[in-house]
């Protein structure tokens, strides 16, 4: 588990511990099911136990950490049922975002989208590229409520992507699907929203794979 342990003024300790732990969980540097030992974290961050405990409680409220008897804090492992529900909702919302963004996307947006499709992309850079691709389209929907609703799901989406979507074959398939979405957007194709929907619902196939 790699964490930022740089020294900061005491007033920022709780915020820093919370932020760094959350980033580590969402980026997969803290593995699902990993035991978060309070004293060990306090030593790593060079803080007292109080900021660590406060941060773990805050992360528990967000569903990223759970407390178990005699074990303490554990990084949450995404559940199959949660994954299915999340992507059913996400697919519908981003289909709408794509429809609204279709007439609004400009040349700069297409350049940004194209850059996310670099052929040398790997697991280390994929999550950021994928997020940029989808967020660019969402931002151009010009619908604040839709953007805010999807933003409220962002942490859960990141958690599931780290768990399920970094295998090389899944990355290649996603890149191909992104290229299909981008091509449809460039053509101002009315089918672009459907193509986005099919891209996101294709992830649901993972939920039926053995071991998921």
Q: What is the CATH number of the domain that holds 85?
A: 1.20.120.530
- 54 with 145, same domain: the answer is no
pLDDT over 60 at 9, yes or no: no
Pick the range with the lowest mean pLDDT from 74-78, 88-92, 195-199.
74-78
Domain-located, residue 149: yes
Residue 5 within any structural domain of the chain: no
Structure tokens at 103: 């007439």
DSSP assignments along 189-209, one per residue: -TTHHHHHHHHHHHTHHHHTS
In a shared domain, residues 38 and 96: no
Structure tokens at 5: 């342990």
Number of domains in the chain: 2
**Burial grade of 7 (CB within 10 A; 0-12, 13-18, 19 or more):** exposed
Residues 84 and 129 occupy one common structural domain: yes
Looking at residue 212, its pLDDT comes to 53
Average pLDDT over residues 96-110: 98
Same domain, 108 and 70: no
Residue whose C-alpha is closest to residue 118's, from 163, 182, 165? 182
pLDDT digits (tens, 9 = 90+) for 147-176: 999 999 998 888 887 766 667 788 889 999
Report the phi/psi class of residue 149: left, alpha or beta, with left for phi > 0 and alpha for psi in -120 to 50.
alpha
Order of strands across the sheet that contains 72-75: 35-36, 72-75, 65-68
Shared domain for 89 and 125, answered yes or no, is: yes
Q: Record the tokens describing residue 15, joined without a space.
A: 């915020």
Alpha-carbon span 23 to 127, nearest angstrom: 13
- Asked whether residue 212 is domain-assigned, the answer is no
The DSSP secondary structure of 123-173, one letter per residue, reads HHHHHHHHHHHHHHHHHTT--HHHHHHHHHTHHHHHHHHHHHS-SHHHHHH
Q: Residues 85, 186: one domain?
A: yes
Give the range of the structural domain holding residue 55, as residue numbers without chain letter. Answer: 10-75
This prediction's pTM: 0.80
pLDDT of residue 12: 79
- Write the CA distances from 125 to 116, 122, 130, 160, 180, integer angstroms: 9, 6, 9, 16, 20
Cβ(138)–Cβ(90) under 8 Å?
no
Answer whether 80's CB lies under 8 Å from 207's CB. yes
Asked whether residue 3 is domain-assigned, the answer is: no
- Examine the domain organization and report whether 94 and 189 are in the same domain: yes
Do 193 and 165 lie in one domain? The reply is yes
67 and 130 in a single domain? The answer is no
Question: Does 194 reside within a domain?
Answer: yes
Residues whose CB is less than 8 angstroms from the CB of residue 57 and which lie 6 or more positions away in sequence, other chains included: none
Structural domain includes residue 102:
yes
* Residue at which a domain ends, from 37, 58, 75: 75
Domain identity same for 121 and 196: yes
Q: What is the CATH number of the domain that holds 36?
A: 1.10.10.10
Does residue 188 fall inside a structural domain? yes
């Amino acid at each position: 588990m790699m964490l930022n342990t740089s020294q900061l003024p005491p007033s920022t300790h709780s915020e820093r511990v919370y932020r760094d732990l959350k980033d580590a969980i969402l980026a997969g540097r803290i593995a699902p099911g990993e035991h978060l030992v309070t004293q060990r974290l306090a030593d790593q961050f060079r803080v007292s136990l109080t900021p660590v405990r406060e941060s773990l409680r805050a992360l528990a409220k967000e569903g990223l950490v759970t407390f178990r008897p005699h074990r303490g804090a554990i990084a949450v492992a995404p559940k199959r049922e949660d994954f299915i529900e999340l992507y059913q909702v996400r697919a519908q919302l981003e289909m709408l975002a794509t429809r609204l963004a279709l007439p609004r996307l400009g040349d700069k947006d297409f350049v940004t989208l194209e850059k996310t499709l670099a052929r040398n992309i790997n697991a280390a850079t994929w999550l950021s590229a994928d997020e940029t691709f989808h967020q660019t389209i969402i931002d151009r929907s010009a619908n604040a409520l839709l953007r805010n609703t999807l933003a409220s799901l962002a942490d859960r989406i990141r958690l599931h992507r780290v768990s399920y979507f970094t295998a090389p074959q899944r990355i290649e398939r996603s890149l191909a699907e992104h290229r299909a979405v981008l091509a449809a957007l460039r053509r101002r194709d009315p089918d672009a929203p459907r193509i986005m929907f099919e891209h996101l619902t294709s992830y649901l196939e993972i939920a039926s794979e053995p071991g998921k």
